[in-house]
Amino acid sequence: MILTAHQPVYLPWLGLFHKIAIADSFCYFDSVQYQTKDWNNRNKLKGPNGAFWLTVPVKSKDHFNKKVGEIEINNTINWRKKHQKSIEMNYKSTSYFNQYIDFFRDCFKRKWTHLSDLNEYMLKWFLDILNIKIKYYKMSEIEFKGKKSELVLDMCKKLSADLYIFGALGKDYAKEEDFAEKDIKIYFQNYNHPVYPQLYGEFISHLSIVDLLFNVGAERALDMIMQGNITKKELRRMFPV
């Protein structure tokens, strides 16, 4: 079984969906330490003046001591109205605007208390419309032990993984010898970002999945995400499991 995992991310980039698409199972890491100035609560979209941030405000008190699933949204700031307006203004001229905008309008009508719940709700919708089928786990519902490499290894053992997909930064902390000792293979993703049709001039990469969806539609989006990258079939040939 091929396994991967990732912490909650707001409006994720394309590389996350490639990593999930080439796995059999995915674990939503909602019990890891919250990271400030990371992608937990923000991401980039594109407008006439280039890339811009959309950031969900969070309550910062004691956030260094909290798990990402415990982080609360600061709803004293009207961020939902701002995010909906930003998406509508900058993507209203795209080919697939009318097809997807109702999801975001509905999502921003709801009052979200915890950042992780918002991110998970959106992630599951993205996976559904991209037709990415995966066995889904939540870290908060399973007891894993250790930190960083030890945590991943414990998860692999408890979920019976034969192969684990790390992101590119996994090379910085993965203890490869520990995985080899347990006969668990590992693969470090090296994502090649595709170029696709965009509004507003020169192409900008590493934006949210939102940009791809509105510009090319869900039927073409997964092909774009996979373009120039390893497939699950190729991964299985490389690492027979």
- Torsion angles phi and psi, residue 89, rounded to 5: -65, -40
Model pLDDT, residue 121: 98
Q: How many whole angstroms separate alpha carbon 103 and alpha carbon 113?
A: 19
pLDDT in tens, 77-87: 999 999 999 99
Q: What tokens appear for 151 in the block?
A: 């945590």
Q: What is the structure's pLDDT at 64?
A: 66
Q: For the chain, what's the residue count?
A: 241
* Stretch 141-157: mean pLDDT: 93
Q: Which helix (H) or strand (E) holds 152?
A: helix 149-158
Say what the pLDDT of residue 66 is.
81
Percent of the chain with pLDDT over 90: 87
Mean pLDDT value across the chain: 94
What is the average per-residue pLDDT within 220-227? 97
Q: What b/e readout covers 93-104, taking b as 16+ CB neighbours within 10 angstroms?
A: ebebbeebbeeb
Q: Which residue has the tokens 């997807």?
A: 100
What separation in angstroms does the CA of 134 have from each of 28, 44, 128, 167, 224? 12, 26, 10, 18, 19
| Both structure tokens of 18 | 């490639």
Whole-prediction pTM? 0.94
As beta bridge partners, residue 44 has 53
Average pLDDT of span 9-38:
92
Interatomic CA distance for residues 160 and 211, integer angstroms:
35
Look up residue 165 and give its two tokens.
Answer: 């997909």
Four-CA torsion 145, 150, 155, 157, nearest 10 degrees: -110
Question: Judging by beta carbons within 10 Å of its beta carbon (0-12, 13-18, 19+), is residue 82 exposed, middle or buried?
Answer: middle
pLDDT of 186-215, one tens digit each? 999 999 999 999 999 999 999 999 999 999
Q: Strands (DSSP E) along 85-222, which ranges?
A: 135-138, 163-166, 185-188
